[in-house]
Chains A and B, each alone.
Chain A
């Protein structure tokens, strides 16, 4: 019996050695790939990048219904120009995070991750252990487009530079400023007209309008089926966070705003409490808020705008048509921030923004980092960046007489979103389209242009000056944030819902503050303040 186990153990060990030996050989063969030949083959400038075709293995997410990247016209053109063949391993974006972690953890590394979506944490940790390589020297030598951009825009350079001074991931950004205020507040103008009300300017006028919607049957079907106000609690672009601004301190999904360089946690401020009391007393108690606002999902929410009889009075969503359909959209108008009881009129600015840092990383398995860097640098040329993000020339764009990319009409029956994700890797891909490029190099999509106009007209005059930028934290700081924040925000959001629905903010306030203290709010805010101070100091350098 004993000897039998010994035997089995030896067999297993031998097997393990055989296997590891196998994979070891594969790697070293890969790394050695004849270096003198390689040099002769490589062009340091100009196209193609290599004389004889070279293949690179890249892993990238893609939209679930999009074709493999190798079948995308834009990458076929790149391959023809550069002579670099990419063996794509495309993963549907919904599964990408899992599979990326599996590849990294098992050491089964491609040459590069494209549209990589690396978090700061991953950039620093995998950068530290050498899984991904620092890129700044490669950028200096082989990436003229990107280097020129970084020289022109030190803010981009500083925001992609890790706290240890290296650049591990290349950026991705569409600097269109469309995300500054996601909460577009919509009201039913045709009902207001019918009821003889003017478009509300103040919070109290708005409350009056909601009340009239509820009680005076504006859709004229004899039933009290009107929903005065519907939204989705603490969801991007669907929440009433913007309305808190009427009390002087707009909220956002992180409950974190910046004024004069100081980080403020909104959900403990008196303005926030005042707003909650108002919403409960004036709106929820009187039935002006759709009770499903706290539970519904987006599908239910969107269906509410499309019922047989028009039932939606007011809602929050970043595009009018999406909720009520094109037919009814003309009944609805956008509302500027409402003037509050104390005369405050302000709207928040979404946190973050700025370039994504982890859009392209090169791994240690890559034996052709120079070729890879030259290949990816092609995509930092503004025209190419635009095509990578939205779609190629002659399919999505044509060049007008000024050399600007303008949108071609969509093929029949295709929606812009559906079509674009089939012809281009999209917004997560490497490449930067700066604010200056819009209008000079590329036209914004028609709907994005409309959005920009709306922002300009309704919100920009009232917008907060500062926001919390997208800061590259130290791993220890990230650890602490990850430990404290999710629980804390969850608690705050639950309480926010409760205070609006059940009221009692005044009575429970002290208890609420104490719980937040226990959960580490102070420490959290200190980390955010330190990060912001560091960022601001860097900007001055």
Chain B
């Protein structure tokens, strides 16, 4: 450290020190909440409320996790979420890429009309009730299709991917390939897709996160609890501890109910965000490259 400081000018050294300090603080700010959730999930809820838990678990308990692992609705939700995220991502990425590639090609007739048509949907939507009626009349209510199909093609994503194709797949490549007798389909599968891994990774991440965290569609379209995704199950557990005058009449044990809820709250957050935490490092290396190129107009 000393020798490192010596080789630099005084100003540079200070710059580094301040820089590192700032970055460390920011890192802690980002990491601590996550860490707190972990610690809190292992602590007695009463200590959490009295503010005594902050660095280490206090009143260590695994009750929360035990309850989570024994609650079937959370596991059903988990399974559903994985199913929706996988299926939704497959459909979503496919639709996005299939829409974006032709739009990136100069030789597509009526390109601007289609683009204009797509853009309009970014600004105007039917609204909740017409959308609900549409889904109902398509007989998609209470099926997983109501969750994975309507949101499949995001125009914003199509634009990002289209720009990526335009800027990273030169027309000359298609010319060269077609001279060698390559068909459009072959070109797309053998050349375009392998060259676009980074934007595909970004799309996968966007979609997975979107489906994983989404609960509103499920709330509106699903009736059957066995189809609920994890976030909705979670939400039902978390929102239910409010004191109101109805309770007076019920004379039920509010504190006991709430303790259970609080006990599993943090554990559930851990369990539900784990897949994303695991997924992210694998996609992260593509992330910067994909978004940067995709978002700069080429």
A residues whose Cβ falls under 8 Å from a Cβ of B: 1, 4, 19, 22-23, 63-65, 68, 89-95, 98-99, 102, 105-108, 174, 176, 178-179, 182, 235-238, 298-300, 302-304, 306-307, 318, 321-323, 350, 352, 415-418, 420-421, 426-428, 445, 447-448, 451
Contacts and interface: CB of A to CB of B under 8 A. Distances in A.
B231 to A, nearest CB: 12
Contacts of B137: 19, 22-23
20 contacts: A19-B134, A94-B240, A95-B219, A102-B132, A108-B136, A182-B245, A235-B243, A298-B254, A303-B46, A304-B49, A307-B46, A323-B255, A415-B257, A417-B251, A417-B257, A418-B257, A420-B252, A426-B250, A427-B249, A428-B246
A107 B248 CA distance: 35
B249 A303 contact: no
Contacts of A421: 252
Given A19-B137, A68-B225, A94-B235, A174 B249 contact: yes
Interface of B: 45-50, 73, 113, 128-129, 132-134, 136-137, 219-220, 223, 225, 235-237, 239-241, 243-246, 248-258, 260, 262
Nearest to A232: B243
B254 A322 contact: yes
Contacts of B113: 1, 4
B132 A108 contact: yes
B223 A415 contact: no
Nearest to B233: A64
B246 A90 contact: no
Contacts of A448: 251
B20 to A, nearest CB: 36
Contacts of A182: 245, 248
B50 A178 contact: no
A358 to B, nearest CB: 14
A178 B249 contact: yes
A303 B49 contact: yes
Give the residue among B45, B47, B243 with the most A Cβ atoms within 10 A. B243
A428 B249 CA distance: 10
Given A236-B244, A302-B255, A304-B50, A89 B223 contact: yes
A426 B47 CA distance: 33
Nearest to A107: B133
A302 B261 CA distance: 14
A307 B50 contact: yes
A417 B250 contact: yes
Contact of B255 (A90, A102, A322): A322
Nearest to A323: B255
A300 B48 CA distance: 8
Nearest to A307: B50
Given A4-B113, A95-B219, A182-B245, A63 B255 contact: no
A62 to B, nearest CB: 10
Contact of A416 (B50, B243, B253, B262): B253
